[in-house]
Copies of this chain bind each other. A is one copy, B any other.
Amino acid sequence: MKAEIIAVGTELLLGQIANTNAQFLSRKLAEIGVSVYFHSVVGDNAKRLDETIKLAASRSDLVIFSGGLGPTQDDLTKETVAAHLGRSLMTDELAMQRITAFFEQRGIVMTENNRKQALVIDGSTVFANDHGMAPGMGYTKDGVTYVLLPGPPSELYPMVDRYVMPFLMDLLPGKQVFHSRVLCFFGIGESALEERLLDLIESQSNPTIAPYAKEFEVTLRITARAQTVEEAERLIVPVEAEIRSRLGQYVYATGETSLHQVLVESLKDRQETIAFAESCTGGTLASLVTSIAGSSAVFPGSIVCYSNQAKHDLLDIPQEVLDAEGAVSEKTAKLLAENVRAKLHTTHGVSVTGVAGPDSAEGKPVGLVYIGVASEGYPTVVKQLQLSGRRQAIIGRTAKTALFHALQRLKER
């Protein structure tokens, strides 16, 4: 099946937003083995939209539209597609009820143009909009399936996951299920990972293996198609085992998660706590951990000790250590980790001190970083890193590395 994605909206052509819907839809289609051959963006203009529809219908089996389903005059996707199909528009009662209820609940008078949002192509499969007003729809004619979706990602993403994917799966031959497992990696780059798995990635078509780079992390999605979830799972097992046998030391979790989320959950499971003494990461570790709901159970607080004075005043680093070895040193990292743990009465204390740049400090090079991990009943360990890149990359990579080492400590204990 050959697919293409058409985003409709002048705001995209003005560069006010990026076409992230096309990215999302492409990933979803790749997961179920549908090849996407083109993306297009066209403005809120009936003539150019109609030309784009005609071209798409001539070369693709599946055409997915995003945007242009709203209440204003500018919104003309369904009108233009309906005209192309020779169908009329009719009111979808369920959508109309939801729109009316929306305005009633907020005590606002509904303007007449909002009725337009409940119109759908006559005879189409309607996808309810659980997070907004305009429903989506799917319609097949002459071997081409047209899917129309609302533009806001907060409406489109859940509609695709809940209603559109099952609709598309029904179009595929053999009524197969698609089942995925995600592995989370840290400490290996996307290209290095791909290189180590290239033979698998290239030879495998079921399951498929697709790496994605996240911020200083990499995830790998293994997707199998089969008659049942159980059968798909059986196809995934040996591939996952082979990947783990090659790169197991970099795998820190299974599923869509992140280092900070796994750290918070692991600490919760063990009823342990953690505190940070952050110099060069300047609060990044604390803000990552507190971005997770429920982190208060494992994280009482931390100290950002940017200046030497703060390291001395707030974390008792002796002036002699700062003078003799410097703030960026193994000794300082060790004491920071141990002292922050003592001051905040936690199971673990993690410290970071380093040179984020752009200038070197204490005669030490940009990218030199020490990470200390102190834990109850365990000798304190200090790791030395030499990172490259710009300030923000050094800060981000250091923070993730510190979370990874904290997680390793949890596994060792």
A310 touches B301 (CB 8 A): yes
Given A284-B287, A289-B282: A212 in contact with B16 (beta carbons within 8 A):
yes
* Min distance, Cβ A149 to any Cβ of chain B, angstroms: 15
- By beta carbon, the residue of chain B nearest A42 is B38
A39 touches B41 (CB 8 A): yes
Residues of B within 8 A of A19 (CB): 18-19, 22-23, 39
Per the bound structure, the CA–CA distance linking A395 and B290 in Å amounts to 9
Residues of B within 8 A of A299 (CB): 282, 306-307
In A267-319, the 8 Å CB interface with B consists of 276, 278, 281-287, 289-291, 293, 295-296, 299-307, 309-310, 313-314
Q: Does A14 contact B (CB under 8 A)?
A: yes
Q: Does A12 contact B (CB under 8 A)?
A: yes
Q: Does A24 contact B (CB under 8 A)?
A: yes
A291 touches B23 (CB 8 A): no
* Min distance, Cβ A163 to any Cβ of chain B, angstroms: 19
B291 touches A304 (CB 8 A): no
B291 touches A301 (CB 8 A): no
Residues of B within 8 A of A37 (CB): 13, 42-43, 48
Per the bound structure, the CA–CA distance linking A92 and B35 in Å amounts to 37
Per the bound structure, the CA–CA distance linking A345 and B312 in Å amounts to 13
Per the bound structure, the CA–CA distance linking A58 and B23 in Å amounts to 27
Q: Which candidate, A25-33, A76-84, A107-115, A173-181, is the interface stretch facing chain B? A: A25-33
Counting every copy of the chain, the complex holds 2
Per the bound structure, the CA–CA distance linking A345 and B42 in Å amounts to 57
Given A23-B18, A391-B291: A310 in contact with B300 (beta carbons within 8 A):
yes
Per the bound structure, the CA–CA distance linking A409 and B356 in Å amounts to 29
Q: Does A15 contact B (CB under 8 A)?
A: yes
Q: Does A388 contact B (CB under 8 A)?
A: no
Q: Does A40 contact B (CB under 8 A)?
A: yes
- Number of A residues near B (Cβ < 8 Å) is 70
Q: Does A36 contact B (CB under 8 A)?
A: yes
Residues of B within 8 A of A42 (CB): 37-38
Partner of A14, one of B18, B27, B52, B278: B27
Q: Does A358 contact B (CB under 8 A)?
A: yes
Residues of B within 8 A of A16 (CB): 27, 210, 212
Q: Does A131 contact B (CB under 8 A)?
A: no
Q: Does A324 contact B (CB under 8 A)?
A: no
Residues of B within 8 A of A55 (CB): 55
Given A23-B17, A289-B282, A291-B395: A303 in contact with B300 (beta carbons within 8 A):
no
B303 touches A314 (CB 8 A): yes
- By beta carbon, the residue of chain B nearest A300 is B307
B290 touches A301 (CB 8 A): no
Residues of chain A at the chain B interface (Cβ within 8 Å): 12-20, 22-30, 35-43, 48, 52, 55, 210, 212, 276, 278, 281-287, 289-291, 293, 295-296, 299-307, 309-310, 313-314, 343-345, 356-359, 391-392, 395
* Nearest 10 interchain pairs by C-beta: A282-B290, A283-B286, A15-B26, A15-B27, A283-B283, A301-B310, A39-B41, A300-B307, A283-B287, A18-B23
